[in-house]
Structures are given as structure tokens and as C-alpha cells.
Amino acid sequence: MSELPGIVVNGASGRMGQMLVRLVSENPACRLVGALERAGHDWIGRDIGTAMGGAELGVTVTDDALDAMSRAQAVIDFTAPAATVPLAEIAAQARAVHVIGTTGLDEDDIAKLDAAARHAVMVRAGNMSFGVNLLTKLTETVARALDVEFDIEIVEAHHKHKVDAPSGTALMLGEAAAEGRGVRLTDVADRGRDGITGAREEGHIGFSAIRGGDIVGEHDVIFAGPGERIILRHVATDRAIFARGAVKAALWGIGRKPGAYDMMDVLGL
Ligand SMILES: NC(=O)C1=CN([C@@H]2O[C@H](COP(=O)(O)OP(=O)(O)OC[C@H]3O[C@@H](n4cnc5c(N)ncnc54)[C@H](OP(=O)(O)O)[C@@H]3O)[C@@H](O)[C@H]2O)C=CC1
Ligand SMILES: O=C(O)C1=N[C@H](C(=O)O)C[C@H](O)C1
């Protein structure tokens, strides 16, 4: 019988990293074969299970990505742009599926990821949950149906540790709204209003970010028209929804043609 696909988790000590270690090691369709952390991290050399305060998992935390990838068919990466971009090259060399949940990537980072995706499968999304990907579809449909009298505003709320704004999800929703409207998001995005901003410009898409406490992730897409408002909302209450999507994406990507994919491809939406 052939071995189950091996998966490495990057940023294994992080909020998402630990959730992924748990879900991958409990999933009967795959094996956890590596746990990566940056050089100098306290957990290097320790068993990932016991470092997380649980049972031993037989996987030692390492900073050697190339070695970890040599045993893997996929790597799941919810870290930071400075970690994700160099890992993409290593995943491409190893011909491993690279599932990227990291947000806050700039245009230059994305160009480097796209170059790596010429050699291996990459699945990247600002949100890996089924609910948000469905909301993204709905946002595009509603934006296409309404005219510019309806102002589009995207409001997101996250925990106090989040370092990037607008969230990756908010940007995904903004892209979908812009697509529905037939415009480029970069031409119409209003980010970070403050002071005497002037009246709202027709056709613009606004973003607002709330940060506080332990909010997992909440997104509203508001279509504010004359005399009525339509509000599409997603509320995440458990990070497992993102991790489950990421494991699904890793398994989906194995054996596929190299290229840049997203969760819409994985979910068939
Ligand atoms: N697409 C999606 O569905 C979702 C995406 N996310 C995104 O995932 C990312 C991680 O979120 P979260 O788990 O909450 O964050 P955490 O801060 O809890 O974890 C981040 C992990 O990445 C590591 N890391 C950060 N910077 C570097 C670096 N330069 N080199 C190597 N390792 C690094 C951290 O290590 P260290 O402790 O040493 O800094 C840590 O292990 C964020 O971008 C977030 O927006 C989150 C949830 C869902
Ligand atoms: O940082 C987080 O926590 C989250 N990040 C993603 C984002 O930027 O949209 C997804 C989710 O909302 C949680």
C-alpha cells in the first residue's frame, strides 16, 4: 500500500500553525512530516506535539525547510510575507504543493510567488473557509446586479494581534465587488479615511478595520443605496474553518499541473 501524503506546517508555533499541526496529524488522509520555525526559535529541536503541550507526535521542529520538504508532498504556510516568499522557492524546487494563507503580501511579493508557481502547484487565498469563499461569490453577484448608486463599504474586525489591514479577506471581497462592477480595485479603493476627506466619491469601495480582543474574524460587505441597505456578513468563531480549508487545498493540489490556484478552484465555486 502506498504511503499517505506527507504535509509540512510552516510557522508551527503560531495561532494557525498549531491548529494546522493538530488537524493534519488527526487527518486519516495525510501524515504530518515536518514542523518549521525560524532559526533561533525556542521550539527548534523539540517534538512539536509536546512543545504545544500535548502528546508526542514524532516530528521535531526544525528551521531546515529544504530537508523537511524532501519528505513532503505539500507545505501549509500561514506566517508572514518575509517567511512565505523564500519558502515558495524551496517548495517549487521540491515540486511540493504550497498552500499559502499568509496575508499582507505586496505586489512585489505576489510577483515572486507567481514566478515560483510556474514550477509547482500553489494555492493562495486571503481566506480558506468555505463560508467566506461563498460570500465572495455572492459579493460579486450583488455588485454586478446593483448600479453605482449603491455605495460599497467593507468593514472587518479582527483580534488585537493582527498586523495587516485591510485583512486579506477584505481585499478578496473588494476584488470581487470591483469585478462585479467591471472596475479595477486599485482605481476605486478608499483605505484609511481620516480628517477632512471630502464627500464620498461615487463608485468607490471603502475599507474600515476594527482591531481588538480575541475576535477571530468578521466581515461585512455593505451596499448602501438610497432608502435601503443590503449587508452580506460572515462571522468566524473558530480558526479551524481556515485550517480545514488549507488541508483540503493541500490534498487537492497533489498531482495537479503546476500553477497559481485559489480556494475557488479547490471548492469548485
Ligand atoms: N487565509 C486564511 O484563511 C487565514 C490567514 N491568516 C493569516 O495567516 C498569517 C498567520 O496568522 P497567525 O497564525 O494568527 O499569526 P501568528 O503570529 O500566531 O503566527 C505566525 C507564525 O509565523 C512565524 N513567522 C512570522 N514571521 C516570520 C519570519 N519572518 N520568518 C519565519 N517565520 C515567521 C511566526 O514565528 P515567530 O513566533 O518566530 O514570529 C509564527 O510561528 C497571517 O498573515 C494571517 O493574516 C490567518 C487565518 C486565516
Ligand atoms: O489574521 C487573522 O487572524 C486572519 N486573517 C485572514 C485575513 O487577513 O483576512 C483571514 C481571517 O479573517 C483571520
Whether the Cβ atoms of residue 139 and residue 173 lie closer than 8 Å to each other: yes
If asked whether residues 13 and 110 sit together in one domain, one would say yes
Residue type, 233: R
DSSP letter at 162 equals: -
Number of domains in the chain: 2
* Domain annotation covers residue 228: yes
Say whether both 169 and 146 belong to one domain.
yes
| Residue in 140, 211, 226 with CA at minimum distance from that of residue 182 | 140
pLDDT tens digits, one per residue of 3-59:
999 999 999 999 999 999 999 999 999 999 999 999 999 999 999 999 999 999 999
129 lines ligand 2 (CB under 6 A): no
Active site residue 112: no
Q: Decide if 59 contacts 31 (C-beta within 8 A).
A: no
Measured from the Cα of 168, ligand 1's closest atom is 45
Could you tell me the sign of the dihedral formed by the alpha carbons of 106, 86, 97, 114, in that order?
positive
**Same-domain status, 249 and 231:** no
Q: Are 12 and 48 in contact (CB under 8 A)?
A: yes
- Same domain as 163, residue 70: no
Give 218 Cα–ligand 2 centroid separation in angstroms.
Answer: 9
Domain membership of residue 220 as a residue range: 130-236
**Both 247 and 115 in a single domain?**
yes
Give a three-class secondary structure readout of 95-122.
CCEEEECCCCCCHHHHHHHHHHCCCCEE
Q: Look at residue 100 and tell me if it is in a domain.
A: yes
Average pLDDT of 199-218? 98
| Measured CA angle at 107 (ends 104, 192), to 5 deg | 55
Report CA(19)–ligand 1 centroid distance (Å): 12
**Confidence at residue 2, expressed as pLDDT on a 0 to 100 scale:** 64
* Chain CA centroid to CA 60, Å: 25
Which CATH number covers residue 162? 3.30.360.10
ipTM: 0.99
One domain for residues 55 and 116: yes
CB 132 within 8 A of CB 239: no
What distance separates the 2 farthest-apart alpha carbons in the chain?
68
Q: What is the CATH number of the domain that holds 81?
A: 3.40.50.720
Q: Which three cell numbers stand for residue 87?
A: 519558502
**Binding site membership of 133 for ligand 2 (Cβ less than 6 Å):** no
> Does the pLDDT value for residue 1 go beyond 80?
no
Residue 143 and residue 108 share a domain: no
Task: State the Cα–Cα distance between residues 129 and 242, nearest whole angstrom.
Answer: 5
Shared domain for 252 and 232, answered yes or no, is no
pLDDT digits (tens, 9 = 90+) for 122-177: 999 999 999 999 999 999 999 999 999 999 999 999 999 999 999 999 999 999 99
Let me know whether 209 and 191 are in one domain. Answer: yes
Q: What is the model's pTM?
A: 0.98
Instruction: Report phi then psi at 163, rounded to 5.
Output: -105, -15
Catalytic residue among 158, 219, 234, 248: 158
> Which residue's CA is the closest to the ligand 1 atom numbered 48?
242
Mark whether 229 and 262 lie in a shared domain. Answer: no
161 and 189 together in one domain:
yes
Q: Predicted confidence band at 192 (pLDDT cuts at 50, 70, 90)?
A: confident
Q: Is the pLDDT of residue 222 over 60?
A: yes
- Residue 73's nearest CA partner among 260, 256, 263 is 256
How many whole angstroms from 15 Cα to the centroid of ligand 1? 7
| pLDDT of the residue at 55 | 97
Any domain includes 1: no
Rounded Cα–Cα distance for residues 127 and 56 (Å): 30
- Would you say residue 28 lies in a domain? yes
Domain membership flag for residue 47? yes
**Is 252 close to ligand 1, i.e. is its CB under 6 Å away?**
no
Say if 219 falls within a structural domain. yes
Q: What does the mean pLDDT of the chain come to? A: 97
Q: Is residue 105 part of a domain?
A: yes
| pLDDT given for residue 226 in this prediction | 97
- Residues 243, 231 share a domain: no
